[in-house]
Amino acid sequence: MQKRLGILTSGGDCPGLNAVIRAVVNHATLTYNWQVVGIPYATRGLLERKAIPLSIHGLDLRGIDPLLNMGGTILGSINKGDTLSHVDEIIAGYHDLGLDALIGIGGDGSLAILNQLQSQGNWQFIAIPKTIDNDVGKTERVVGFDTAVNTIVDALNRLTFTAASHDRVMIVEVMGRTAGHLALHSGIAGGADVILIPEIPYTIKGVCEHLAELRDRWERRFAIVVVAEGAQIAADSSNYASCEKLSCGMGQYIADELRCCSNHQIDIRVSVLGHIQRGGIPSALDRLIATAFGKAAVDLLADGQSAQMVAWQNGQVVAVPLETVLACSPCLVDPNNFLVKTARSLSTYIGNVGIS
Ligand code: F6P
């Protein structure tokens, strides 16, 4: 049966979203002869169709080739708003557009909202996980994470040269919200000396001692410290009050603490990578994941399935009930996982075992 399939991107953008759109349009059009419509700005495109009509893109094979390596999302996205106070209008928007099914690409927050909408609206709906935070449950891979890790590692490479030239400690604050996956992966791949993540408590004394050991025992006069934006306040914090609510940012907070702890003997600089981590051309791995997920999502719809998320498990793309995914999202770093152990075994400071 011919379908009219909607597709939207929701939440913070990331590299690889356009590659998903390309795969969905290609497979839905060529294999199943469906019509695909792109819904602009996520649920806003369904909500504001009458008041301020946002243009609904008809998507076909013309012009989709450049999408494979294009960052951002041609559909636009939103990561704020009171969507759940407009459930009825959004559901009406779906029907107004004559949609038979919808593919929603989002992180855990967006997927929770879309799940509620699909359930109340009785939509045929398949989710595709994307986020640079890598915190969606039940999947080993999401669209966007790999590129963000590569972007951070590139920054760490650059900072290492200048740190070494000036005998400095470089503190690099990375995104990730409440999860430490970005900091952990990029910190290991970029050879960081210290990695601070939300899931593992640490002390300023521990960081200072580690830097002193690098200097005194191994004659390393520079260091790279990767700090997740959501890292906790140090267990032995001395200046939390002056940085109250951390309006100064986690990287700056650690820098201030380390200066204090070292009697201003360490020359420290802070880099906050910010939205650079969300931009850029998707890596080969993200293009691969995006393409495989897009294809699988279309096949699930063709198979009559709904309320599922495509997930990467044991090297395969599988379908997982959305409810199950949401029950274990956000998915945080397990402090006992093999990557944490790997970092520790290479004598990276990643928090104090045993403090809580
Ligand atoms: O969830 C993705 C993310 O980039 C987080 O890592 C970060 O905390 C947040 O979005 C930033 O959101 P905004 O784009 O609204 O500043």
Predicted confidence at residue 61, as pLDDT, reads: 84
Pocket probe mutation, ligand 1, options 77, 133, 134, 181, max atoms within 8 Å of Cβ = 133
In this structure, the strands spanning 268-272 and 316-321 are: unpaired
88 as an active site residue: the answer is no
195 close to 343: Cβ distance less than 8 angstroms: yes
What's the pTM? 0.95
Annotate 197-249 with DSSP letters as a single string: -TTS---HHHHHHHHHHHHHHH----EEEEEETTPPPPTT-S-TGGGGGGTT-
Predicted confidence at residue 1, as pLDDT, reads: 80
Pocket probe mutation, ligand 1, options 142, 151, 175, max atoms within 8 Å of Cβ = 175
User: Distance between alpha carbon 274 and the CA centroid of its chain, in Å?
Assistant: 12
Pocket probe mutation, ligand 1, options 79, 135, 173, max atoms within 8 Å of Cβ = 79
CA of 261 to the centre of ligand 1 (A): 31
Residues 6+ apart with CB under 8 A from 165: none
Length of the chain: 356
Predicted confidence at residue 355, as pLDDT, reads: 59
CB neighbours of residue 218 within 10 Å: 9
CA of 252 to the centre of ligand 1 (A): 18
Predicted confidence at residue 83, as pLDDT, reads: 86
227 close to 273: Cβ distance less than 8 angstroms: no
The secondary structure element, H or E, covering residue 324 is helix 322-327
Residue (of 242, 282, 253) closest to 130 by Cα position: 282
pLDDT tens for the chain, 356 residues long, are 889 999 999 999 999 999 999 999 999 999 999 999 999 999 999 988 654 445 667 888 888 889 999 999 999 999 988 888 899 999 999 999 999 999 999 999 999 999 999 999 999 999 999 999 999 999 999 999 999 999 999 999 999 999 999 999 999 999 999 999 999 999 999 999 999 999 999 999 999 999 999 999 999 999 999 999 999 999 998 865 555 556 689 999 999 999 998 888 899 999 999 999 999 999 999 999 999 999 999 999 999 999 999 999 999 999 999 999 999 999 999 999 999 999 999 989 999 866 55
Predicted confidence at residue 241, as pLDDT, reads: 52
Whether the CB of 131 sits within 6 Å of ligand 1: yes
Whether the CB of 175 sits within 6 Å of ligand 1: yes
The secondary structure element, H or E, covering residue 271 is strand 268-272
**Which among 133, 193, 256, 299 is annotated as catalytic?**
133
Whether the CB of 261 sits within 6 Å of ligand 1: no
- Is 217 annotated as contributing to ligand binding? no
CA of 275 to the centre of ligand 1 (A): 8
Annotate 64-98 with DSSP letters as a single string: -GGGGG--S-TT-----S-GGGGHHHHHHHHHHTT
Whether the CB of 206 sits within 6 Å of ligand 1: no
44 close to 54: Cβ distance less than 8 angstroms: yes
Annotate 82-151 with DSSP letters as a single string: -GGGGHHHHHHHHHHTT-SEEEEEE-HHHHHHHHHHHHHHT--EEEEEB-TT---TT-S--BTHHHHHHH
340 close to 350: Cβ distance less than 8 angstroms: yes
Chain position carrying tokens 């198979």: 303
